[in-house]
Structure 1
């Protein structure tokens, strides 16, 4: 366990004038309030805040950040209060600790909603003070280092998947690549253990030979640079395991075909010398043009700068080489922390804040999203690192996520421009609205005053802002239509029971009924009648009882009463009930372990979809209902698997054998041989859950001549 004296030594090494008194006081306070608490590893709980503070010291952060790191869990896990923290350590430390603290004590409908709100709170806090996320990253990094002490495998996978989705992406966006790589590799080990061990074994297999290769190539580069008077440092490094895994999947490669498992880095004194070194390399070895990237002339949004080139190396193989200055290398390792300006109360440099404008976009976008699954999905999209740079007709540069369309561009300019978009020109030529923009494109949007967004746009827009604004418009329109329909239905029902609609809706009894149904305004009640979630007769009956509310409510109750009959268990419950008619969406075929959501369907009960199902995303959020998997279900579920392979004798027999060994049942097979002697196969298998599914996919990948395996969504 790291000691407080080690942390203080690091702080003084980074800043000899640092005020370490606040660190000492934070350590003593943290030790006192955490006394008696023990981590799953058996170590005293204090070991965790000490390790977090040590990571922050390694990042060369200021004394306030390190004090906040020592205190980051005290409000959540001890009797300490935010007011006490502020009184003892000041408003700055209290603000940071508050931003890091989870919302575990807030009462919400589900663990997922609570988790979404914790992430939302963190996003808001880190936009105000970036130190919040740096402490959160240090906290998550140490938790991942000790994740092996968790007993439940499912919990390990859940934490690791969240780390990949949120925290590794945040580290990348902030340019802190050493944390990103460690988080990815540790998470990879728990989410895909078989694949992790396979890649680990393949990398280790010829390690001695690769080490010799690294030294040989480094010597050749160094010698060539010295010939041209370029003093430099040359490094060779292995690509981290998760990166190799991602490349194999995204480019459909076998391990042997991943050429940049080893990459080289040349570090020089000045920017001009970087370009000189590039010329020397390209004279020595033939470059591959399409693989050259100039991140010095056009830095990444997280301030990363480097020249990337791939050449045909000394043995005829591809070699990836990065060229940068010492300062660029420092930024590449530390990201935002390398530019930190929190010294003696000074705020971070304004230019650095501009580099992280995406954080403000994240804050702006989240304000329009209530659904927790939709919010978490929006955060993942906003953290997606690849970007394209396009121009307005006036020459102003705009940054968008890779795959963005003219509709995304229109919403980036202004919500009204997006809503009224009818067409677009790219580089002076008309293009479809689903056209994917490329870096350097000049985009001009055409609008019409009476035009409105289309539901179809949700099928191709990529940015959170565009998606949330389109959904917002659709919800508004649907509500207006539902209010109109609901009013018409209520007027008809009221007439049947000799009630005057116009008079009744203004009465005190109606106000009470609106409240009894759980709504704040009459329009909300009428809209739900229009949606079909409440019947006009239910409203009439409550009125007849003079405002005395019964527990006879929504369409969900009607479904329950209609279908209470003996039937096989489905493995899913609706709000704690398991005797409701439930169907699974054929479009996405959810299995236990998938995040799921239910949609009320009149006359057909509840249909369960995966939360990222394209079809489900287009359904009305008003019909959403919370569903969850039953624990310890023995059911199996159909799932479709696509397999691409080279044709050979015995292929299907080998596939069937491996699938059978992994405990899955084959329900259906459809194979087609193509002219190039390859085979496209779609297997429908019965599996227990996502863990079982991953086991089956791993087994299939081991079959000889298989080139691609994936789960089909539709």
Structure 2
């Protein structure tokens, strides 16, 4: 059985093991029982290239979660970065517990803490994903209720996070394991279809691989070619999305080609299309137009040997590393002080969620989280050819707000591929969208109505709400000021003590007073009484 790290491998990890082992004698049995999954999780982290600090934090958190009372004191001996990683895992545990109790619609405060922890140190994500992957692998003999609960948690939280951050090496397996327990019959049916002719398919793939390797070598291109494994969940999703039967899918048989650079990617594509006829409408250039999680590759489908369809993916070695590891591929570069714009973009969405003007609107935070991690997105073109990616189902009005807040506020109409469409129209990937604007910003209140379908993204709705909050505030302040001036005139009082008036009415500021007057929270009678009290002369003290 694999062993926990010792001092020869890493002094920091050895300290963590020693601290966890001696933390509490009352948890010895639980600690021993937890070690197999812990060792497996550490192996996943090493596979992602995650450093010793994150692995030490995982060891310490596992022992702490077992109930050892004196782990907290021992944590003080570890670097602040390790302690922060332990705290990030604890924030996640609170989110998972609330998810178990109430489903994905709860746990916003824990989610807020978790996102903050992730922003401070992205290694928290790697730890969470590694632990959940190992936990899911070990679920086969668990009670059904536990399998379903963990599968739902994985589908709602872990797999979307892995996808949004581009860690596809873990995403695929997490999705397949969750699908296996949530829809076991469908999972088994697709697995059976994959297995039925596995030998024939593998022999055919070997033939296609040899033909392509010879053609690439003849063209002077250095390449690695592998049969690309198909994932059951992705097959099912494609069957659902395209309304196809299993036998109609182009990419059950697939090859992956790895080359040196971008130029070689397009050269290899030319070789593929020269060798075999391509299928119209099945080519995707994710190098020129990366996916929302910055995945890059060329995808094409062709009629291969014996007239059978074949999908071919072409990417550089660097793109492949990023596709498999996502932000993990950037981590050590970032540790060395480098500036990686792609890395920063991958976590910018978390920072944006927390910086939006929602205040303490937890429902909005959760809605934003679910919107941002959803896998299905549409990729739209501006008239200048820039790519804007939005959640599936976004409208052209959402597109306008994605370009700029002022463009959204001034939006009067839109054209999709040169045709005028209503503001609630939902464009598809590849559509070219042109926003028609007026000179004056005039958003409409009915844009906020979910029933009317104008806006679907969290960001756009927030921008419209902020506009009307600002406009309403200005109008209320003006109305309140008119009430105050009218009362001063009616009472023939000079505005000498207005700076003390809010305090007299137990309000915090002059603007709050005007707002209260406009809304009727402070009546004219209350205002008159307060003004009289402030303007009345103070009685002289009686002589002794």
TM-score (normalised: structure 2):
0.76
Distance 1:99 1:417 in 2: 38
Task: Tell me, yes or no, if structure 1 residue 463 matches structure 2 residue 457.
Answer: yes
Say if 2:13 and 2:55, in contact at 8 Å, map to a contact too: yes
Distance 1:35 1:53, change over 3 A: farther
Say if 1:392 and 1:444, in contact at 8 Å, map to a contact too: no
Give the aligned partner of residue 94 of structure 1. Answer: 83
Structure with greater contact order relative to length (CA < 8 Å, sep ≥ 6)? 2
1:425 Cα deviation after fit? 5.2
Task: Tell me, yes or no, if structure 1 residue 137 matches structure 2 residue 129.
Answer: yes
SS at match of 1:302: coil
Give the aligned partner of residue 625 of structure 1. Answer: none
Say if 1:420 and 1:453, in contact at 8 Å, map to a contact too: no
Give the aligned partner of residue 3 of structure 1. Answer: 3
Say if 1:382 and 1:463, in contact at 8 Å, map to a contact too: no
Distance 2:186 2:212 in 1: 34
Give the aligned partner of residue 187 of structure 1. Answer: 178
Distance 1:2 1:377 in 2: 42
Distance 1:38 1:478 in 2: 62
Give the aligned partner of residue 382 of structure 2. Answer: 391
SS at match of 1:167: helix
The correspondence for 2:206, drawn from 208, 212, 215, is: 215
Distance 1:101 1:342, change over 3 A: farther
Please list the CA deviations of residues 172-202 of structure 1 after superposition, one character each: whole Å capped at 9, or x if unmatched: 2222212111101110111001111111112
Please list the CA deviations of residues 256-286 of structure 1 after superposition, one character each: whole Å capped at 9, or x if unmatched: 2223112101222333222222111111111
SS at match of 2:258: strand
Give the aligned partner of residue 153 of structure 2. Answer: 162
SS at match of 2:318: helix
Distance 1:38 1:86 in 2: 19
Distance 2:60 2:77 in 1: 12
Give the aligned partner of residue 574 of structure 1. Answer: none
Distance 1:139 1:8 in 2: 24
Say if 1:453 and 1:473, in contact at 8 Å, map to a contact too: no
Please list the CA deviations of residues 484-519 of structure 1 after superposition, one character each: whole Å capped at 9, or x if unmatched: xxxxxxxxxxxxxxxxxxxxxx9xxx99xxxxxxxx
Give the aligned partner of residue 360 of structure 1. Answer: 351
Distance 1:275 1:342 in 2: 28
Distance 1:450 1:231, change over 3 A: closer
Map 1:100-179 to 2 at 5 A. 100-102=89-91, 111-112=102-103, 115-151=107-143, 153-179=144-170
The correspondence for 1:302, drawn from 293, 301, 316, is: 293
Distance 1:426 1:193 in 2: 41
Give the aligned partner of residue 60 of structure 1. Answer: 49
Distance 1:342 1:44, change over 3 A: farther
Please, which moves more after superposition, 446-455 or 268-277?
446-455
Q: How many residues align?
A: 481
Distance 2:200 2:277 in 1: 24
Structure 1: segments with no counterpart, 5+ residues: 10-19, 481-505, 512-520, 530-714
Say if 2:19 and 2:74, in contact at 8 Å, map to a contact too: no
Distance 1:85 1:293, change over 3 A: farther
Distance 1:35 1:47 in 2: 19
Map 1:347-496 to 2 at 5 A. 347=337, 349-356=339-346, 357-365=348-356, 367=358, 370-372=361-363, 375-385=365-375, 386-391=377-382, 398-413=388-403, 418=408, 421-424=411-414, 430-437=420-427, 438-439=429-430, 441=432, 443-444=434-435, 446=437, 448-455=440-447, 457-458=449-450, 459-469=453-463
Say if 2:5 and 2:13, in contact at 8 Å, map to a contact too: no
Distance 1:105 1:223, change over 3 A: closer
Please, which moves more after superposition, 331-340 or 437-446?
437-446
Say if 2:447 and 2:454, in contact at 8 Å, map to a contact too: no
SS at match of 2:34: coil
The correspondence for 1:280, drawn from 253, 271, 287, is: 271
Structure 2: segments with no counterpart, 5+ residues: 475-500, 507-512, 522-544
Q: CA RMSD in A?
A: 4.2
Please, which moves more after superposition, 222-231 or 69-78?
69-78
Please list the CA deviations of residues 266-310 of structure 1 after superposition, one character each: whole Å capped at 9, or x if unmatched: 222333222222111111111123211222333334342222111
Map 1:190-269 to 2 at 5 A. 190-269=181-260
Report the structure, 1 or 2, having the larger strand content.
1
Distance 2:462 2:36 in 1: 42
Distance 1:140 1:65, change over 3 A: same
Distance 1:85 1:469, change over 3 A: farther
Distance 1:268 1:416, change over 3 A: closer
Say if 1:410 and 1:421, in contact at 8 Å, map to a contact too: yes
